[in-house]
Amino acid sequence: MEELDKKYQDNGFKVPEHYFEDFDHKVLERLREMQEKPKPGLRVWKKQAWLVAASMALISAIAYIAYQTAPVTNQEQLSFDNLDPEELIAYENEIELSEDEFEDIIPAYTIDSLYNAEILPVSYEFNEQDLQDIEEEYSALDEEIEI
């Protein structure tokens, strides 16, 4: 301290007149206001909660309107009903589902229409002639094998 002349010790800053006389009053006034007001944390939380709720409601409303009014895209038009039967069979083979699982995924009417359309009717009722033809065919085959 001794290094510098004490003449510098007046810091030279100006202060408004009567500033220190009013100081206590200003501080006490602010303290009273703080005590009267609800806790700011709670108020902020409430305000934020309202903002969040309002934002969510607005987003939901916009999403609903957009969903209702949006044009149907090609991707949305795809369904099992519109698939080619071959694609369906390929899909079935590929995904390796059990029959029950497959039926759960693909509506029953789709399966019916698929099989009715593509699989030829097969009869298990053989007449006499049919049996004879089969016997002859197998006999000829047996002879060839023996030779």
Binding site for another protein (CB under 8 A): 1, 3-4, 7-16, 19-20, 23-24, 26-28, 30-31, 34
Smaller CB distance to another protein: residue 8 or 67?
8
Q: Which residues contact 89 (CB under 8 A, 6 or more apart)?
A: 114
* Min CB(53)–another protein separation in Å: 31
Smaller CB distance to another protein: residue 18 or 120?
18
Amino acid symbol at 98: S
What three-state secondary structure class fits 132? helix
* Min CB(47)–another protein separation in Å: 22
Smaller CB distance to another protein: residue 27 or 131?
27
What would the DSSP string read from start to end of 109-141? HHHHHHHHHHSPP------HHHHHHHHHHHHHH
